[in-house]
Structure 1
Amino acid sequence: MSRTVRIASVNVNGIRAAARKGMNSWLENAGVDILTLQEVRGTAEHLAAALPGWHIHEDEALQKGRAGVAIASHEAPSMVRKDLGGDDFDSKGRWIEADFSIEGEHLTVVSAYVYTGEDGTPKQDAKYAFLDAMTERMPQLASDGSLALITGDLNVGHRELDIKNWRGNLKKAGFLRRERAYFDSFLAAEGEHITRIDESAGVGLGWTDVGRTFHGDVDGPYSWWSNRGQAFDTNTGWRIDYHLASAPLAARVTGYSIVRAPSWDTRWSDHAPVIADYSFGV
Structure 2
Amino acid sequence: MFRVVSLNLNGVRSAATKGWLDWAAGAEIDCMGVQEVRAGAEDVAGRFDAIGELKGHFHHAQKKGYAGVGLYTRHEPSKVVHGFDGGEFDDEGRYVEMRFDTPARKLSIISAYFPSGSSGEERQAAKYRFLDLLRPHLQKLIRAKREFILMGDINIAHREIDLKNWKGNQKNSGFLPEERAWLSGVIGAGRGELGLIDVHRTLRPDDGGEAYTWWSNRGNAYANNVGWRLDYQIATPALAATARTVSVYKTQRFSDHAPLVIDYELSL
TM-score between the two structures when normalised by the length of structure 1? 0.87
How far residue 146 of structure 1 moved from its aligned partner, in angstroms, is: 2.9
Out of 9, 12, 29, which is 2:26 matched to?
Answer: 29
Letter in 2 for 1:165: N
How many residues in Structure 1 have an aligned counterpart in Structure 2?
263
Which position in structure 2 is the counterpart of 1:7?
Answer: 4
- Mapping of residues 241-252 of structure 1, within 5 Å: 241-252=231-242
Whether the 8 Å contact between 1:102 and 1:281 is mirrored in structure 2 is no
Is residue 49 from structure 1 mapped to residue 39 from structure 2 by the alignment? Answer: no
Whether the 8 Å contact between 2:59 and 2:83 is mirrored in structure 1 is no
> CA 1:275/1:104 → structure 2, altered by over 3 Å: closer, same or farther?
farther
The alignment-based identity, stated in percent, is 39
2:241 and 2:103 mapped to 1: Cα distance? 17
Which position in structure 2 is the counterpart of 1:199?
Answer: none
Out of 228, 248, 269, which is 2:218 matched to?
Answer: 228
Whether the 8 Å contact between 2:40 and 2:61 is mirrored in structure 1 is no
Whether the 8 Å contact between 1:157 and 1:175 is mirrored in structure 2 is yes
> CA 1:166/1:276 → structure 2, altered by over 3 Å: closer, same or farther?
same
Letter in 2 for 1:214: L
TM-score between the two structures when normalised by the length of structure 2? 0.91
Letter in 2 for 1:170: Q
Is residue 258 from structure 1 mapped to residue 248 from structure 2 by the alignment? Answer: yes
Which position in structure 2 is the counterpart of 1:157?
Answer: 157
What SS is found at the alignment partner of 1:91?
Answer: helix
Whether the 8 Å contact between 1:159 and 1:180 is mirrored in structure 2 is yes
Whether the 8 Å contact between 2:203 and 2:244 is mirrored in structure 1 is no
Whether the 8 Å contact between 1:222 and 1:238 is mirrored in structure 2 is yes
Which position in structure 1 is the counterpart of 2:187?
Answer: 187
Which position in structure 1 is the counterpart of 2:90?
Answer: 91
Gaps of 5+ in 1: 194-202
How far residue 89 of structure 1 moved from its aligned partner, in angstroms, is: 3.8
Which position in structure 2 is the counterpart of 1:212?
Answer: 201
State the Cα deviation string for residues 117-153 of structure 1 (Å, max 9, x = none).
Answer: 1486121111001111111111222235432010000
Which of 21-30 and 50-59 deviates more?
A: 50-59
Letter in 2 for 1:160: E
How far residue 101 of structure 1 moved from its aligned partner, in angstroms, is: 4.9
Whether the 8 Å contact between 1:258 and 1:275 is mirrored in structure 2 is yes
Which position in structure 2 is the counterpart of 1:77?
Answer: 77
Gaps of 5+ in 2: none
